Amino acid sequence: MSRLSGKIAVVIGGHGGIGGAIAERFAAEGATVYATSRRTEEGEVGLGTGRLRARRVDASDLTALAAFFEAVSREAGRVDVLAVNAGISEFATLDDIDEDHFDRTFNINVRALLFATKAATAIMPDGGTIVLVGSIADAIGTRGYGVYGATKAAVRSFARTWANELAPRNIRVNVVAPGPTDTAMMAAASDEVRETLTKLIPLGRMGRADEVASAALFLASDQSSFITGAELPVDGGMAQV
């Protein structure tokens, strides 16, 4: 039986890479999925036993984000599963960080995540699930990614707080924390950077987007029914051993 059969799911940042893999996996597992992106073409396709509905939404635009959730409420009546993946990662050492870099990174990685979660929980029935896409960067100090790491630490902190606040409604909140993953974002890195990162991973390779999607599906489904406030690393052991 499909693990998300009959569910209404929203994936913020659900086009390409990890977010796209999560959206497709949720749909293949029976959910009707509303997947947002700043770049995607709007449309609808059948996938497995569910449906995937692409919507063009800039998650950092709170007016557009609110309008999107109002539309989901009108069309579907609720959100059973929320996954928030929208985010950016830009290199800047302490000497190079400026206000624009800081504001842009926090606006997308933290501010958008906060208000997407607030909007979703307003129309989420008891027993819903929330999966926030964090990163092992929340716990390690990677040169040049201090602001990015701080945003992911904020995501981890929010998950703990929201798991506590939403527990009376039996809404579970968890984080999936990828390590280096072979996506278009990582493909843009130099061969030297990729080789350096790979050497730090005990399993000897980067992760795949579908492996992160499998972890997100586990946290979104009843298979993780007694797990909340947790972080599930998908990093090949990079930050674990």
Is 187's pLDDT higher than 80?
Answer: no
- Give the pair of three-digit tokens for residue 84: 């928030």
Residue 166 lies in a domain: yes
User: Which pLDDT score is estimated for 56?
Assistant: 95
Radius of gyration, CA atoms only, the chain: 17
Looking at the 3D structure of the chain, how many domains does it have?
1
207: in domain: yes
Contacts of 178 (CB under 8 A, 6+ apart): 18, 133, 135, 136, 207, 212, 233, 234, 235
CATH at residue 222: 3.40.50.720
Residue 1 pLDDT grade (very low, low, confident, very high; cuts 50, 70, 90): low
pLDDT digits (tens, 9 = 90+) for 101-121: 999 999 999 999 999 999 999
Residue 85 in any domain: the answer is yes
β-partners of residue 5 are none
Residue 208 structural domain = 8-234
Q: Do 79 and 128 touch, CB atoms closer than 8 A?
A: yes
The answer to whether residue 192 scores a pLDDT higher than 90 is no
Pairing of strands 32-37, 8-12: parallel
Sign for the CA dihedral angle at 179, 196, 205, 16 comes to positive
In this predicted structure, the answer to whether residue 169 has a pLDDT above a threshold of 70 is yes
* Three-state SS sequence of 37-84: ECCCCCEEEEECCEEEEEEECCCCCHHHHHHHHHHHHHHHCCCCEEEE
Average pLDDT of the residues of the chain: 94
Rounded to 10 degrees, the C-alpha dihedral 221/226/231/235 comes to -60
Would you state the pLDDT for residue 117?
98
Q: Choosing from 26, 68, 69, 148, which is the catalytic residue?
A: 148
Residue 239 lies in a domain: no
Q: Is 148 a catalytic residue?
A: yes
| Confidence tier at 15 by pLDDT (50, 70, 90) | very high
Specify if 240 maps to a domain.
Answer: no
pTM: 0.95
Residue 129 reports pLDDT greater than 90: yes
Quick check: is 198 in a domain? yes
